[in-house]
Amino acid sequence: MKTFEFIRAADLKGAIEGAARAKTAQQGADVRFVAGGTTLIDLMKLNVETPAHVIDINRLPLDKVETTPDGGLRIGATVRNSDLAHHPIVKQDYAVLSEALLSGASTQLRNMATTAGNLLQRTRCMYFRETAMPCNKRKPGSGCPAIAGSNRMLAILGASEHCIATNPSDMCVAMAALEATIHVQGPKGSRAIPIAGFHLLPGDTPQRETVLEPGDLITHVTLPAPISGSRQVYLKLRDRASYEFALASAAVVIKIAGGNVINARIALGGVGTKPWRSPAAEAVLLSQPATPANFRKAAEAALRDAKAQSENGFKIELAKRCLAHALQMAAKG
């Protein structure tokens, strides 16, 4: 671990100004905010993250969960994953988010992990975490050993020839299905970024993972008002029963009336290079009967563009079953 300066931010302005000095807010950032630290400190110990300055944002007033005037929810950036998962409104109206959060990591980690930190958690690709190995994401242009190596956990959707790393977050998948908006304050003021436009595909710049620029501080996330009468399910498939990242997961928010699907929002996790919203699956379902056959069709559509790597071909079928089953669970209520 490299020696770094630790700064405890007193207010938003100070935090943003401090971070605006950085050359990038992406891989290689020399200034980093720290929230729960469960991603950042871990990667600093591995020398994957080597910031010279670490700005602690835990004392900023960003830890509230509040309803918004339009009936939605405003979630502060430093709200702990545990607190969010157990929040009564979240459990009631955004069950898919609560379930997704609780399926992630362990109690201890969730007690530390925050909303913003979770949005920005890094891939678990094992080569990314080992500085002795090449990795285009960590060291642009050095190559991607995962393509010929251990890639069982890696992506089947959205990968490029430069990087096939999965976005490992469960929370983000639920937020994608809930159409969350991420609110950022930066040196040039504030802006709101729909979650679908927040994470980037790797393309030929896998080191760039989000649209964030130096000094950008996530202040909160908003969720639109819940779709009344919708049913929500988060289903996560993995080898063991707990404390493991998803091999495939599905977040579904659907509304059924008269046996037909009248609203569907679907996102997949564990399979994409970013939290994977699937308009194709949604289109298949819309206005169609809520039947297992249609659910399977939706799943086929969601995975139509999937591309297998040497070890993870099974994830295509697994993700299909995951989505079809999640839809079935939601339909059953």
Residue 317's binding partner, choosing from ligand SF4, ligand FAD, other proteins, none, with beta-carbon cut-off 5 to 8 A by kind?
other proteins
- Verify binding: residue 318, ligand SF4, rule CB under 6 A: no
Name the one range near other proteins by CB under 8 A: 73-81, 82-90, 130-138, 154-162.
130-138
Neighbours of 305 (CB within 10 A): 10
Site for ligand SF4 in 216-255 (CB under 6 A): none
Q: Does 222 bind ligand FAD (CB under 6 A)?
A: no
Report the residue from 123, 167, 219, 222 that binds ligand SF4 according to the rule CB under 6 A.
123
Q: Verify binding: residue 286, ligand FAD, rule CB under 6 A.
A: no
Number of residues that bind other proteins (CB under 8 A): 34
Is 82 a residue that touches ligand FAD (CB under 6 A)? no
Select from 58, 111, 150, 291 the one that contacts other proteins (CB under 8 A): 150
Residue whose CB is less far from other proteins, 16 or 318:
318
Q: Residue 108 binds what, of other proteins, ligand SF4, ligand FAD, none (CB under 5 to 8 Å, by partner type)?
A: none
Q: Is 168 in the site for ligand SF4 (CB under 6 A)?
A: no
Shortest distance (Å) from residue 144 CB to other proteins: 12
Window contacting ligand FAD (CB under 6 A); options: 63-71, 111-119, 153-161, 256-264 = 111-119
If one counts every other C-beta atom within 10 angstroms of the C-beta of residue 72, the result is 20
Considering the complex, what minimum distance in angstroms separates the CB of residue 128 from ligand SF4?
A: 4
Using CB under 8 A as the criterion, what x/- string covers residues 286-315 for binding other proteins? ---------------------------xx-
Q: Which is nearer to ligand SF4, 207 or 232 (CB)?
A: 207
